[in-house]
């Protein structure tokens, strides 16, 4: 396998990822904080995947690196045969915009834009033709059941509708990868379950990798595989789809304790 022969299926490989942060301290001698210290992880098929781990284990840091929002100190990040770790800054901007869809806890919708405008914003920033963008935006919003909400601003949308706009925006460019960092942190249990189902369907329908950080075992039970991060490393992984959440929580805390 060489980078010049892309695979039909999207895939994701992390090799020996290290990332440290300089401690926010007045002492210049303060040791840096090692957020990630040798992450190895591979996903070879499209689908819905989870990352779990204690607070501070490096989950958000890992998602930031995958999203191209920051660079690793060392190690390799391959997304669909692209060496993300080696991209020039200008190519990284394009990668962020076109190849990755990101869904944050707060959804990050702009309050002055309506649902359609929020959905197509990455395309506007990418200077795509307006008419084609609007058509694509309308199609995705219709698929997500928001046909009659396109011209509502976020304040006039329910939490569940806002999350679907965030997914629509993440899907605008048919990305290779969707990353979600605790996307249901602010939702009630019914909306949360709806979002997990939607992410699962999105992965299956578009044949892409959806990788979600979660604290909730019931969320990971929607994912085919769950990776456990511990102290900046992958402590283990297991098949998690359809597992009983209590059993799943037990399994992940076992791994986090013993690995
Ligand atoms: N910008 C930063 N500057 C300094 N240290 C940071 C920075 N971001 C994260 N860290 C540190 O790196 C480690 C990993 O943080 P990270 O946010 O990746 O954890 P997490 O697993 O997402 O935790 P949580 O579940 O609480 O969101 C933590 O010790 C954190 O304090
Ligand atoms: Mg986090």
- The model's confidence at residue 235, banded by pLDDT at 50, 70 and 90, is very high
Cβ-contact 164, 144 below 8 angstroms = yes
- The model's confidence at residue 7, banded by pLDDT at 50, 70 and 90, is very low
pTM for this structure? Answer: 0.89
Cβ-contact 149, 157 below 8 angstroms = yes
Q: Tell me how far the alpha carbon of residue 136 lies from the centroid of ligand 2, in angstroms.
A: 32
Q: Tell me how far the alpha carbon of residue 62 lies from the centroid of ligand 2, in angstroms.
A: 9
pLDDT in tens, 214-226: 999 999 999 999 9
pLDDT for position 190: 81
Superfamily the domain 45-71+88-258 falls into: P-loop containing nucleotide triphosphate hydrolases (3.40.50.300)
DSSP state of 176: S
Domain ranges of the chain: 45-71+88-258
Q: Tell me how far the alpha carbon of residue 29 lies from the centroid of ligand 2, in angstroms.
A: 27
- The model's confidence at residue 6, banded by pLDDT at 50, 70 and 90, is very low
pLDDT in tens, 98-153: 899 998 877 889 999 999 999 999 999 989 999 999 999 999 999 888 999 999 99
Residue by residue, DSSP assigns 195-231 as HHHHHHHHHHHHT-EEEEE-S-HHHHTTSSEEEEEET
CA-232 nearest atom, ligand 1? 14
What residue ranges line ligand 1, CB within 6 angstroms?
Answer: 21, 33, 35, 53, 55-61
Letter string b/e over residues 113-129, b meaning 16 or more CB atoms within 10 A of that residue's CB: bbbbbbbbbbbeeeeee
pLDDT for position 144: 85
* 215 alpha carbon, closest ligand: 1
Q: How many CB atoms lie within 10 A of CB 99?
A: 19
Which residue is associated with the tokens 């962020």?
96
pLDDT at position 25 over 70:
no
pLDDT in tens, 61-102: 999 999 999 999 999 999 988 999 999 999 999 999 889 999
Q: Tell me how far the alpha carbon of residue 21 lies from the centroid of ligand 1, in angstroms.
A: 9
């Amino acid at each position: 396998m060489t980078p010049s022969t892309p695979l039909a299926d999207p895939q994701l490989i992390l090799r020996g990822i290290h990332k440290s942060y300089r401690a926010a301290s007045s002492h210049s001698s303060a040791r840096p904080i090692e957020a990630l210290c040798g992450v190895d992880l591979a996903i070879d098929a499209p689908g819905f995947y989870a990352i779990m781990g204690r607070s501070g284990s490096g989950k958000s840091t890992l998602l930031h690196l995958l999203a191209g929002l920051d660079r690793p100190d060392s190690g390799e990040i391959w997304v669909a045969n692209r060496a993300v770790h080696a991209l020039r800054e200008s190519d990284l901007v394009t990668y962020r915009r076109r190849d990755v869809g990101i869904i944050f806890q707060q959804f990050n919708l702009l309050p002055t834009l309506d649902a359609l405008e929020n959905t197509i914003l990455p395309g506007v920033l990418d200077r795509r033709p307006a008419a084609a963008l609007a058509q694509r935006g309308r199609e995705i919003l219709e698929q997500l059941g928001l046909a009659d909400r396109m011209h509502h601003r976020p304040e006039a949308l329910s939490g569940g509708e806002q999350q679907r706009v965030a997914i629509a925006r993440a899907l605008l460019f048919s990305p290779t990868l969707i990353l979600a960092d605790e996307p249901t942190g602010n939702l009630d249990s019914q909306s949360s379950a709806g979002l997990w189902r939607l992410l699962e369907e999105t992965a299956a329908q578009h044949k892409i990798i959806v990788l979600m950080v979660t604290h909730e075992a019931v969320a990971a039970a929607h994912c085919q595989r769950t990776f456990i991060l511990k102290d900046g490393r992958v402590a283990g992984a297991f098949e998690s789809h359809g597992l009983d959440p209590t059993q799943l929580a037990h399994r992940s805390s076992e791994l986090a304790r013993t690995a």
